Amino acid sequence: MSSAGMSLRKNQNIVKNKIRLESGPVTTILMMVSLLLILGLMYLSQVTKTSTFNYKISNLEQKQNQLQSSKDNLSIDAARLQSIAEAKKAAETAKLAQVKTVSFATAR
Amino acid sequence: MPTGQAKMEESSNKRITILVGLMCLFAVIVFVRLIYIQIFKHQSFVEIANAQQSRKFVIPARRGEIFVQDGNNELYPIALNQQLFLVAADPKYVKNSNEVIDKLSQYLGDADKDELRKKLDNKNNRYIVLNKKIDDKSADEIKNLKLAGIILSPKDGRNYPEGELFAHLTGYVNNDESGQYGIEQFMNQSLAGTDGVSRAVTDSLGVPITSNENTLVKPKNGSSIVLTIDRNIQSMAARAIEDAVVKNKAESGSVIIMDPKTGAVKAMANYPSYDPNSYQDVSAKDYGRFINSSITNLSEPGSGFKVITMSAALNEGKVKPDTSYNDTGESQVEDRTIRNADNKKFGQSTMTDVIQKSLNTGMIFVLKQLGTDPNRITQKSKDILYDYIKKFGFGEKTGIELAGESKGYVKDSKAYSVDYANMSFGQGISTTSLQLTSAVSAIANGGTLYKPYVIDELVLPNGEIKKNKPSVIRNDVLSSKSAAEISEMMKQVVQKGSGWPTRMAGYNIAGKTGTAQVPKADGTGYEEKKNIGSFVGFAPVEDPKFVMLVRVDYPKVDGFAEKTAVPTFAEIAKQLFIYYQVPPNGN
């Protein structure tokens, strides 16, 4: 460090005056109210977000139920169309003849 | 003497003391009351508060489905879930009852319209059910009608895509979502699962709101079931028995087909049947249609039972197939004379003849041989026969997984000799068709009695599969030698006896006919013109693929079982040989 610099440091006022922040009752109340307001707003925002998610979940659940119901109905239609009664009807419509004799190939 | 001021002070002090005392008393009362309410009545008030501030929602579990298989192990659903709707009305909001009834008429079924109109006009009613089960398509149509006061509530329902074909196996699910008859009833707990519960805090209108106190118990869905039933064989059996009942002008009939090597039931068809999709349409006089007669109805087995008595004697070494006796056409037991069914006498006859010609006198001869004196029915004869009847599973439920099974009735060995003489040829004993099929299975497979079963797999909600394994009840019913001997005798029934209509070139079929009389309801003998024709048998004898019982109840055509049940057995057996790809043996 240069000597000029040292002298400058020497002459520096090293006494620090404490800044005293004082608030009166009105300021304190205002601060408390603001804090409560901020916390309230944060809480409200979270609750709204949760409710929105709940609504979305409920919507998705409803959609899932609808899809499940559609799937059930399609399964029933498919099963009905593949049922023995339907197969019998189809065979009658196509005038298929019943098997009367069957020959088995014999190994030599 | 106290002065006036002192007197006043004393009086004032007294009043203050009384007031303080009263206040203390009041404080004690309040304190005690608070303890009572907050400690002793805590739970009850918590419940009241919860009831006001929260609601319970039931989350229904999904019912398991039921499947059958075919020869390639492909699965086919026979009971599926379907969302249905309940239609109701709130008369307070119904403006014009005539309009509502006219517009909804196609959805009201057989409801009495005038009665309904009266109910709708009564504004004090707040809830009238119009139809408990309509599908979603109809529900949409009703919604589009925009009728005031009409309520549509979703509810779980069941659909049976094969209609009548499997009705006696599945049963149905009633409006309370409880299984009735068949698998639906027997396995109701497994199929239904456990409903879930959601408890949520609600606002003043009862609408759920987000809260940490909300709880959710998820539902546990029911398990699905795969049956051992082969849908193609079931179809063959159902068609054949329907034809047999119609052709013989009979009241009813049934067919059971079982795998003799496992006890797995491949088909169980009864006619008449019902459609489980519309079980409500079955009228009160036809409620018998709900019953699976193969496992519930009891009857005397008739001559089909002769193979059981003969098996006992062969296994005990008391007779051989060529043991002979002199058939005089009748036999005296105590004070009764018992005759052959056709009132004929055949002279010198072997045991094979006894089975082939179905001789009642021969069975009494066999019963006598079981005891200590071959010339009469002794206590030992009865003890041994009773023991074999039990070994073959009669008088006990088989344990099949179907609701409504009967156990039958077998007189114990303390009964009269004449009772046992009758039992030896299938009279005075009551059995189910399934019991007889199961007993003949034990003959077919060489002497092992399997528990008949219809559940092949249980598919748990997490996808885990629990395979049902064949269960041996006992493996010492008969020795393989005795089983082979009785099988050969039963083969002769088809080759030379009453089972002739089922004779097929290249196939060895063993069987026994039975034409059972029907006891009168008052117990005074038998009905004159009623009988039950049956044929129980298996094939091919050398390596049985199936055991089958065909039963035709109260046919109105003349003749024995060979005219009613045997042709149906033959028809199904012919199809089964093709289906199982059993080639003829060239004999």
> Residue A85 and residue B82: Cβ atoms within 8 Å?
no
CA pair distance B52, B55, nearest whole angstrom: 8
Put simply, the chain A residues between 38 and 97 with a CB less than 8 A from any chain B CB are: 47, 50-51, 54, 69, 72-73, 75-76, 79-80, 82-85
Within 10 A of A95 (CB to CB), how many other CB atoms are there?
6
Say what the pLDDT of residue B104 is: 87
Residue B161: which of A47, A54, A79 has the nearest Cβ?
A79
Burial readout B72-81 (b: 16 or more C-beta within 10 A, e: otherwise): eeebbbbbbb
Tell me which of B81-85, B113-117, B247-251, B395-399 is least confident. B113-117
Q: Which of B482, B411, B451, B428 is nearest to B305 (CA)?
A: B428
Give the mean model confidence (pLDDT) for residues A34-56: 91
Mean residue pLDDT of chain A comes to 82
- ipTM for this prediction: 0.74
Say what the pLDDT of residue A89 is: 85
CA pair distance B130, B138, nearest whole angstrom: 13
Confidence of residue B362 (pLDDT cuts 50, 70, 90): very high
Say what the pLDDT of residue A33 is: 95
Sign of the alpha-carbon torsion through B130, B131, B134, B136 = positive
Give the mean model confidence (pLDDT) for residues B420-439: 95
Q: Report chain B residues whose CB lies below 8 A from the CB of A99.
A: 578
Asked if B489 and B498 touch (Cβ cutoff 8 Å), the reply is no
Give the mean model confidence (pLDDT) for residues B557-582: 90
> Residue A76 and residue B80: Cβ atoms within 8 Å?
yes
| pLDDT above 50 (res B587) | yes
The residue that leads in pLDDT, B89 or A16, is: B89
> Residue B161 and residue A50: Cβ atoms within 8 Å?
no
Say what the pLDDT of residue B586 is: 57
Share of chain B above pLDDT 90, in %: 67
> Residue A84 and residue B162: Cβ atoms within 8 Å?
yes
Q: Helix B379-391 and helix B360-369: axis angle, to 10°?
A: 110
- Omega cis (within 30) before B555: no
Say what the pLDDT of residue B492 is: 95
Whole-angstrom CA distances from A9 to A16, A18, B88 are 15, 21, 95
User: Is residue A102 less than 8 Å (CB to CB) from chain B?
Assistant: yes
The CATH number of the structural domain formed by B59-222 is 3.90.1310.10
CB neighbour class for B27 (10 Å; exposed up to 12, middle 13-18, buried from 19): exposed
Asked if A80 and B161 touch (Cβ cutoff 8 Å), the reply is yes
Element (H, E) at A86: helix A84-93
CA B181 to chain CA mean position, Å: 5
| pLDDT above 90 (res A2) | no
Say yes or no: do domains B59-222 and B230-579 share a fold: no
Say what the pLDDT of residue B348 is: 94
Q: Which of B426, B419, B408, B218 is nearest to B310 (CA)?
A: B426
Give the mean model confidence (pLDDT) for residues B330-346: 90
* Residue with tokens 């329907």, as numbered in its chain: B242
Q: Where would I find the beta strands (DSSP E) of chain A? A: none
Indicate the length of chain A as a whole number: 108
Q: Which of B509, B446, B436, B511 is nearest to B482 (CA)?
A: B446
Asked if B526 and B514 touch (Cβ cutoff 8 Å), the reply is no
CA pair distance B383, B280, nearest whole angstrom: 49
> Residue A83 and residue B161: Cβ atoms within 8 Å?
yes
Q: Helix B480-496 and helix B306-315: axis angle, to 10°?
A: 140
> Residue A76 and residue B161: Cβ atoms within 8 Å?
yes
| pLDDT above 90 (res B127) | no
Share of chain A above pLDDT 70, in %: 82
| pLDDT above 80 (res A28) | yes
The pLDDT tens digits for B237-294 are 999 999 999 999 999 999 999 999 999 999 999 999 999 998 988 988 899 999 999 9
Q: Report chain A residues whose CB lies below 8 A from the CB of B81.
A: 72
Domain boundaries defined on chain B? 59-222, 230-579
**What is the homologous superfamily of the domain B230-579 according to CATH?**
DD-peptidase/beta-lactamase superfamily (3.40.710.10)
> Residue A47 and residue B81: Cβ atoms within 8 Å?
no
Burial readout B275-284 (b: 16 or more C-beta within 10 A, e: otherwise): ebbebeeeee
Residue B583: which of A47, A83, A104 has the nearest Cβ?
A104
Say what the pLDDT of residue A1 is: 47
Cβ pairs bridging A and B (under 8 Å): 44
Give the mean model confidence (pLDDT) for residues B478-497: 95
DSSP letter at B194? Answer: B
* Residue with tokens 């709880």, as numbered in its chain: B215
Asked if B127 and B88 touch (Cβ cutoff 8 Å), the reply is yes
Alpha carbon of A94: minimum distance to chain B alpha carbons (Å): 19
Say what the pLDDT of residue B50 is: 77
Tell me which of A35-44, B92-101, B245-254, B271-280 is least confident. B92-101
Tokens of B374: 């071959």
Confidence of residue B31 (pLDDT cuts 50, 70, 90): very high
Say what the pLDDT of residue B207 is: 72
Mean residue pLDDT of chain B comes to 91
Within 10 A of B95 (CB to CB), how many other CB atoms are there?
9
Tokens of B570: 């033959």
